[in-house]
Amino acid sequence: MVSDEKVEESAEELRDEQTADAHDREEPCESDGVESEELEESSEDDELSFDDRAALLESFSEVDRQALVEALLFASGEPLGEKKISDVTGIERAQVVDILDSLKMKLSLEESGVELFESNNRYQLRTKPQFAHFIQQLRASRPKRLSQQALETLAIVAYRQPIVRSDVEKIRGVDATPTLKTLIDRGFIRIVGHQESIGQPALYGTTPQFLEVFGLSTLGELPTLRDLQQLEAHADESSNEDEIVEEDDEVVELEENIETEDVVQAEVAANS
């Protein structure tokens, strides 16, 4: 049998080895520091100076510059303003506007699967609406939808902004606090100021993200009350037409059944 002293000695040796290994891992290696410095220098070298960027931009043709702007929009994913594009590329803002107009026209052609979407003077590359069903198949989960209550509250804020919570509640007839919080968390509305009254209640308004998600360039593109009434009337007409078609189909089917019964009765009478 192994004595207790041997066990303790083996345990101490094992602890010493583990301590030495841990110490070796904690001590920085000189070569690692050198590699880190080299990486930092390499990263700095990758950044072009203002003069080098200007020289490179000067060598670009108009087609190259348009491709550059398109690449920035693609890489960003988020909407970019004219000033941001100009600051990053060094292209004059007036020329950026011309490039965006040309790019928008080019992408509007049928053979392109994306389009240049403008909202609130910011630009973003988006897939065309007719491909939405197929693109949804790529997503593991569907995006969260707004509830009916949230949509109603958002519509009130959009049309009545800036508006305080109490006015929203007067229109809806229920407490709007949780719904307003949800819309703020989702980035559709924000506090734009405070009303000069007792308590200085917060004033709510929509955000640029609201315009982007709902495909609007400005709030002026929101449908008017007349537009909504026309849409509702058109929907009612379509519903009535469907009901008429269904009634006609039922009448035709009934007539066919009656004719079939008449034929059967005539055959029975002839056989008898």
Quickly count: other Cβ atoms within 10 Å of residue 222's Cβ: 15
Whole-model pTM: value is 0.51
Q: What is the pLDDT of residue 250?
A: 61
Count of residues making up the chain: 272
Q: What is the pLDDT of residue 221?
A: 87
Q: What would the pLDDT profile of 166-211 be if each residue is shown by its tens digit?
A: 999 999 999 999 999 999 999 999 999 999 988 899 999 999 999 9
Q: What is the pLDDT of residue 4?
A: 46
| Block mean pLDDT (10 aa), the chain, length 272 | 48 54 48 50 59 85 91 90 92 93 87 88 90 79 79 93 94 92 94 92 93 87 80 67 56 60 56 56
Residue 67: exposure state from Cβ atoms within 10 A (0-12, 13-18, ≥19):
middle
Q: What is the pLDDT of residue 238?
A: 60
Give the chain's radius of gyration (CA, Å): 35
Q: What is the pLDDT of residue 86?
A: 92
Strands, E assignment, the chain: 80-81, 114-119, 122-127, 163-164, 189-194, 202-206
